[in-house]
Amino acid sequence: MIFTIKVNGQAHIVDVDDDTPLLWVLRDVLGMTGTKFGCGMALCGACTVHVDGVAIRSCVTPIDSVGTSEITTIEAIGATVVGARIQKAWLDREVVQCGYCQSGQIMSAADLLATNANPTDAEIDDAMSGNICRCGTYARIREAIKQAAAT
Amino acid sequence: MIVDQQAPRVSGPSEPPSVNTLSRRNFLRAGAAAGGGLVLSLRLPFATGEAEAAADNVFTPNAFVRIGSDGKIVLIMPYVEMGQGTYTAIPMLIAEELEVELQQIRLEHAPPNEKLYVNPLLGIQATGNSNAIRGAWQPLRQAGAVARNMLVTAAARHWNVDPTSCHAERGEVIHEATGRRLSYGELAAEAARMPVPENVALKRPQDFNLIGTPAKRLDTPAKVNGTAVFGIDVRPPGVKVATLAQSPVFGGRLKSVDDTAAKAINGVRQIVRLDDAVAVVADHMGAAKKGLEALVTEWDDGPHARLTTEAIAAELDEALLTPGAVAENIGDVDHAMAGAATKVEATYRLPFLAHATMEPMNCTVHLREDGCEIWVGTQALAKAQATAAETAGLPLDKVVVHNHLIGGGFGRRLEADWIARAVEIAKHVDGPVKVVWTREEDIQHDMYRPMFAHRLSAGLDGMGMPVAWNNHYAGSSVIARYLPPAFNNGLDPDTTEGAIDLVYDLPNLHVEYVRVEPPGIPTAFWRSVGPSRNVFVVESFMDELAAAVKQDPVAYRLALLDKTPRAKAVLALAAERIGWGERLPPRVGRGVSLQNAFATHMAQIAEVEVAKDGTVRVRRVVCAVDCGTAVNPDTVAAQIQGGIIFGITAALYGEITLKDGRVEQGNFDTYQILRMDEAPNIEVHIVQSQELPGGMGEAGTSAIGPAVTNAIFAATGKRLRKLPVEASALKQPV
Ligand code: FES
Ligand code: FES
């Protein structure tokens, strides 16, 4: 089936089955590989993107559910005020290790701060616990979110 | 500094520099670079090829520093970045002595060449065992110092002044009296003609500008904006995506496949049948996965169809009754045991563990008649190349490997099984194919941290102190398969690390190992390797001894550490920083562990809270570490924090079990990973030290397990001798 989707402000026409997860459309069809695959079952958060500003797991989001929504990925999150702040905090705090989970972490954090400018520890835990980091960078993610919130 | 992710097809100085000098110690040479400039070739000491090279006097360098006439400095080195900060820490060693800014150095990864790029402590071209800094510490600083000396000499000749009246600073040589300056680029060609100095003094630690400072990681910016390219992200033109199912039972075979439904799926291109696996090749992973689910597959399960973890555990228990290879023997344990006032005995059991790297296994292959191109993220480049060549039936020089960022290694990417798989599939596919494993396949066809059983016994004297220590253990040797020459007389250095050479002063000690390989189950290195088991066992048992004679576990250990002051110091520091001895609420406890592993001394104290239903929460961890010179202290802290999270995951959740020959876990719901809401507060205290740098990538992981279970004992009185923690055993009695 033919779908027209809007990613990072640009329209793309793709021809895939209607149940194809958005993740694979982004990565394999459109070649936007910043969004990662970790589990395929909404268990790890590596594939997190925004649909109309809300963080979702693209590995379980069928393409036919996206419609005309605005999709934002890690490649463009730096263009938002919150996204840029988060990326800077991530660098300042040396959050990253292998880096594979960090696209998803940043997308989840960006959703959190866009809706809650000053989250408590519990709110941070709540928003971020769907994102696994196998390298164990949680403490620095928490610090970086606080730094981004304070700026 | 720029990090070049792709292994260059041809290394920088592919033609050996025209050699004009040979230092007496024969570890380093200097010469002119192809396009002008200075090249230093160095050989890291203790390399496996050393004896042979010395015999025929052939110099076999394995790292290069090139200073071009354009002022660019390139370091070609054999280590891989896996998130542990190697690409930042290693160039610091050269930059420190060369007197240049870190940003001036460009890093290139060495191409695969087993002979040239051997990792000195591992003996193969691989990044593992926390030893990149340990191997490079001396030679890279020496190379930097030699290059600086030659540049200064060249400048002094140019100005016709005494070299001692000049000094190097930020990539320039300066004549102090006149203020004249020449850049390294201007001097490089001239410097190449200078004699290589015999003895160059290295900087004193108090003069370090870079080493010991928290330098910013250089590989980070691309990892926060989606531009970093991991192996799974490559897209050579025309690439197809494949995913696969391997025989669910290890050693089983593919019997039949009905692919009618799969072939009808939009985007599915091809079904590839292998002896023991089937793959679906498609336009994108969505179609490939859907295709895989639509296959109707029958397997012949083979000889391990009934295998269970319980059966393997029973085999290990049996092996504990048979004599093994003696790994260490001090004094006379039997005699001491006979005269002991108290005897303590315990058996510990450790499970299979999967690596579950965040980036699932994947490899992209383009197989042509005359050659093969591979895109992958590997910790062992030469092994990757050799495996691909063998599988493809091509000579080594027809296989080009592009190495990429690694989304987690932890030992998994020291193997090459998934590369062989990808090449097998590529044999059936026209054009490039990217083989991506599902998470389920990644967990069910991992190569696992082996199961082990340990039987410990000790004799205590009238004061309660240990006079006899016996550790008899059984399990798989990864080294015997991976690096056979290192397995000797029934022993290898990995299986024993952490079980022998203990920090404690024990007058009579006997350690014996029985090798038992689980039928059909491949075992492999896993972050913190041997110590991941041995430290758990030793530190749990030490705790049991203190408890048996009602002594404080920290004081008990301290009394045994007079001969190992570095160990004593980190333990005392950790105890002080956490406030050891404070009163704690009910069901809250603190537990300690101490180790010397990977040439690093570390003490950890964990504080846990055990809920009424038995759920364990690690609230706080204090870690004191003496890792010798901390080259990049921020990376040291990051590695310890991450290593502790990795170890808590294993202690609380980590277990791969088998039923009917099949791995029972499949994704992160059944193979749980610690999440942010469970992550403790971790404090890392680094002891200032000028000793040789120790390994950092793994130490945090092995130390945390026993700290957690000892803390559970303190909180509940329940001693856990088997990992992972069984919450149901910790329920509060009503
Ligand atoms: S890949 Fe989507 S949540 Fe893991
Ligand atoms: S940084 Fe490696 S998984 Fe998070």
Confidence of residue B113 (pLDDT cuts 50, 70, 90): low
The answer on B540 and B496 residing in a single domain is yes
CA distance A98 to chain B (A): 4
What are the percentages of helix, strand and coil residues in chain B, rounded to 5? 30, 25, 40
What CATH number has the domain bearing residue B657? 3.30.365.10
Q: How confident is the model at residue A149 (pLDDT cuts 50, 70, 90)?
A: very high
- pLDDT-derived band of residue B43, with 50, 70 and 90 as boundaries? low
| Model pLDDT, residue B614 | 97
Strand residue runs (E) in B133-252: 166-169, 172-175, 180-183, 240-246
Q: Which residues span the domain enclosing B10?
A: 2-225
Position B7 scores a pLDDT of: 31
For ligand 1, say whether the CB of A139 is within 6 Å of any of its atoms: no
Give the burial string for A34-73 (b: 16+ CB within 10 Å, else e): bbbbbbbbbbbbbbbbbbeeebbbbbbbebeebeeeebbb
User: Do residues B283 and B247 share a domain?
Assistant: yes
Q: Model confidence at B655, in pLDDT bands (50, 70, 90)? A: very high
Can you give the pLDDT at residue B109?
64
pLDDT at residue B44 in the model: 52
Does A104 contact ligand 1 (Cβ within 6 A)?
no
The pLDDT-based confidence of B196 (bands split at 50, 70, 90) is: confident
Q: Kindly state the helix (H) or strand (E) to which residue B402 belongs, with its residue range.
A: strand B399-403
Nearest to A94 among B216, B267, B438 (CB): B216
Question: For residue B12, is it within any domain?
Answer: yes
B356 Cα: distance to centroid of ligand 1 (angstroms): 14
pLDDT at res. B591: 98
What's residue B46's pLDDT?
32
**Residue B625, CA atoms < 13 Å, CB-side half-sphere:** 35
Residue-level length of chain A: 151
- State whether B319 and B277 are in the same domain: no
Q: Is the CB of A37 under 6 A from ligand 2?
A: no
In a domain, B692, yes or no: yes
Q: What is the DSSP string of A98-148?
A: S-TTHHHHHHHHHHHHHH-SS--HHHHHHHHTTS--TT--HHHHHHHHHHH
- Rounded to an integer, the average pLDDT of B340-353 is 98
pLDDT at B206: 83
pLDDT of residue B299: 98
Sorting pLDDT into bands at 50, 70 and 90, what band is B128? low
Q: How far does Cα B734 stand from its chain's mean position?
A: 45
Contact between B718 and B654 (Cβ < 8 Å): no
The answer on B287 and B331 residing in a single domain is no
Q: Domain boundary at B414, B436, B458, which?
A: B436
B13 located within any domain: yes
Is the CB of A91 within 6 Å of ligand 1?
A: no
Residue at a domain's end among B380, B408, B436: B436
Q: Which domains does chain A have, with CATH numbers?
A: 2-75 (3.10.20.30), 77-150 (1.10.150.120)
Ranges of H-type helices in B427-468: 439-444
Interface with B, mutate which of A74, A101, A135, A142 (most B CBs under 10 A): A135
Whether B530 and B452 have beta carbons less than 8 Å apart is answered as no
Residue B229, helix vs strand vs coil: coil
- Same domain? For B211 and B249 the reply is no
User: Is the pLDDT reported for residue B527 higher than 70?
Assistant: yes
Q: What is the mean pLDDT of the segment spanning B672-677?
A: 98
Decide if B285 and A24 are in contact by the 8 Å CB cutoff: yes
Same domain, B339 and B254: no
Whether residue B217 and residue A75 make contact (CB cut-off 8 A), yes or no, is no
Same domain (yes/no): B203, B289:
no
pLDDT digits (tens, 9 = 90+) for B691-700: 877 777 788 9
Percent above pLDDT 70 for chain B = 88
* Number of structural domains found in chain B: 3
pLDDT digits (tens, 9 = 90+) for A71-80: 999 999 999 9
Would B443 be classed as within a structural domain? no
Instruction: Specify whether B317 is located in the same domain as B289.
Output: no
pLDDT confidence of B127, banded at 50, 70, 90?
low
Complex-level ipTM beyond the 0.90 threshold: yes
Q: What is the pLDDT of residue B50?
A: 32
Task: Give pLDDT tens digits for A14-44.
Answer: 999 999 999 999 999 999 999 999 999 999 9
- Asked whether the predicted pLDDT for residue B121 surpasses 80, the reply is no
B197 plus B260 within the same structural domain = no
Q: Report residue A151's pLDDT band, with 50, 70 and 90 as the boundaries.
A: confident
Please give the sequence-ordered ranges of beta strands (E in DSSP) within B490-558, or none if there are none.
Answer: 509-515
Check A128 against B290: CB less than 8 A apart. Answer: no
Give residue B62's pLDDT band: very low, low, confident or very high (50, 70, 90): low
pLDDT level of residue B205 (50, 70, 90 thresholds): confident
B600 and B699 in contact (C-beta within 8 Å)? yes
Which of B59-63, B64-68, B121-125, B325-329 ranks highest by mean pLDDT? B325-329
pLDDT of residue B78: 63
| Residue B161 domain-assigned (yes or no) | yes
Q: Across residues B303-330, what is the average pLDDT?
A: 97
Domain contains B568 = yes
- Domain boundary among the residues B191, B225, B259 is at B225
Please indicate, yes or no, whether residues B195 and B336 belong to a single structural domain of this protein: no
Q: pLDDT tens digits for B9-29?
A: 222 333 333 333 333 345 677
User: What is the mean predicted confidence (pLDDT) over B222-235?
Assistant: 95
In this structure, the answer to whether residues B105 and B239 fall within a common structural domain is no
Rounded CA-CA distance A57/A75 in Å is 16
- Residue B81: pLDDT above 90? no
Q: Is A49 in the pocket of ligand 1 (CB under 6 A)?
A: no
Is residue B513 within 8 A of residue B473, CB to CB? The reply is yes
pLDDT value at B584 more than 80: yes
Return all residues near B679 (Cβ < 8 A) that are at least 6 apart: A136, A138, A139, B645
pLDDT recorded at residue B19: 33
- B117 is a domain residue: yes
Q: Are the beta carbons of B675 and A132 separated by less than 8 Å?
A: yes
Q: What three-state secondary structure class fits B463?
A: coil
At B624, which helix (H) or strand (E)? strand B616-626
For the record, the structure tokens of B733 come out as 């009695």
**Residue percentage of chain B with pLDDT more than 90:** 68
Residue B441 within any structural domain of the chain: no
- Confidence (pLDDT) at A122: 96
Could you tell me if B377 and B247 lie in one domain? yes
Contact partners, residue B630, CB within 8 Å, separation at least 6: B212, B636, B686, B689, B693
Which region holds residue B257: left if phi is over 0, alpha if psi is between -120 and 50, else beta? Answer: beta
What mean pLDDT is reported for chain B?
88
B407-429: pLDDT as tens digits: 999 999 999 999 999 999 999 99
Asked if the C-beta of A38 comes within 8 angstroms of chain B's C-beta atoms, the answer is yes
The whole-angstrom distance between B588's CA and the closest CA on chain A is 21
Q: Give yes or no for residue B122 having a pLDDT over 70.
A: no
Phi, psi for residue B604 in degrees, rounded to 5? -130, 145
CB pairs under 8 A between A and B: 194
pLDDT tens sequence across A82-123: 999 999 999 999 999 999 999 999 999 999 999 999 999 999
A20 in contact with chain B, both atoms CB, cutoff 8 A: yes
Between chains, do B220 and A91 touch, taking CB under 8 Å as contact?
Answer: yes
| Residue pointed to by tokens 């956490």 | B578
